[in-house]
């Protein structure tokens, strides 16, 4: 937990307040657990600040993330009902995306992923959200479905005050390069190494 003084003060002509309020690109990568979980913990804090949150889940999954989705959507509903916290949109790649009328291309995940990124680009240009949670977005980049250079350039040039958090293993070096904060989750010990499978409440 970082507190106190920064290690150095850059010669970037910005005041401390300007630097403090600089929107961040954050990457949670590495082989260990907690990459998405920490991103959703971050979203919880963002909600509490009244931020507009957009979640884009890039890997199809029936039960994994269901807990996070239920809670985040419930928090978004609370916002709509009582004005507490911020609004939450949760978009899941699966058979297409919820904003797309095309219906979905069960067989063409590459096209779905590209469409997801195209929508995120439009939203970044429109300054639609305060926090974008691009969950498991490293994979479509790794698989060549989304162009890493385009992502890096778009993030670096995004307008306004939009925070972006990207999760997944093997983050592309070009994404790392434009990121302000990168955390590598390392696996020290995992119950699956001892023959245990994932369980309710812990993994989903």
Q: Per CB under 8 A, which of residues 143..172 are in contact with its own copies?
A: 163
**Scanning the structure block, which residue is given the tokens 């931020």?**
51
Q: How far is the CB of 91 from its own copies (least distance, A)?
A: 18
Nearer to its own copies, 51 or 97 (CB): 51
How far apart, in whole angstroms, are the C-alpha atoms of residue 204 and residue 110? 25
Choose one: 89-97, 98-106, 109-117, 188-196; the region binding its own copies (CB under 8 A).
188-196
Interface segment toward its own copies; rule CB under 8 A; list 30-38, 98-106, 109-117, 147-155: 30-38
**C-alpha separations of 181 from 28, 61, 64 in Å:** 8, 27, 25
* Range 67-96, binding its own copies (CB under 8 A): 67-68, 70-71, 74-75, 78, 84-85
Question: What would you report as the CA-atom Rg of the chain, rounded to the nearest whole angstrom?
Answer: 17
Nearer to its own copies, 118 or 174 (CB): 174
**Tokens 């293993």, residue?**
169
Selected from 13, 83, 173, 195, the binder of its own copies by CB under 8 A is 195
Report residue 135: phi and psi, to 5°.
-80, 125
Count of CB atoms situated within 10 Å of the CB of 34: 15
Phi, psi values for residue 82, rounded to 5°: -120, -10
Using CB under 8 A as the binding criterion, the count of chain residues that bind its own copies stands at 80
């Amino acid at each position: 937990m970082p507190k106190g003084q920064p290690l150095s003060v850059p010669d970037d002509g910005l005041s401390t307040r300007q630097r403090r309020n600089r929107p961040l690109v954050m990457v949670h990568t590495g082989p260990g657990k907690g990459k998405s979980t920490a991103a959703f913990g971050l979203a919880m804090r963002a909600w509490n600040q009244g931020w507009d949150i957009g979640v884009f889940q890039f890997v199809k999954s029936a039960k994994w993330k269901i807990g996070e989705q239920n809670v985040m959507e419930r928090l978004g509903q609370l916002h709509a009902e009582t004005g507490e916290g911020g609004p939450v949109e949760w978009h899941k790649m699966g058979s297409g995306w919820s904003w797309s009328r095309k219906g979905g291309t069960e067989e063409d995940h590459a096209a779905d992923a590209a469409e997801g990124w195209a929508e995120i680009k439009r939203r970044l240009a429109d300054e639609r959200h305060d926090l974008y949670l691009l969950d498991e977005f490293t994979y479509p980049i790794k698989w060549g479905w989304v162009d890493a250079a385009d992502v890096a350039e778009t993030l670096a040039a995004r307008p306004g005050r939009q925070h972006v958090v990207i999760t997944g293993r093997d983050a592309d070096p070009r994404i790392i390069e434009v990121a302000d904060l990168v955390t590598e989750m390392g696996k020290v010990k995992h119950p699956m190494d001892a023959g245990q499978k994932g369980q309710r409440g812990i993994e989903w």
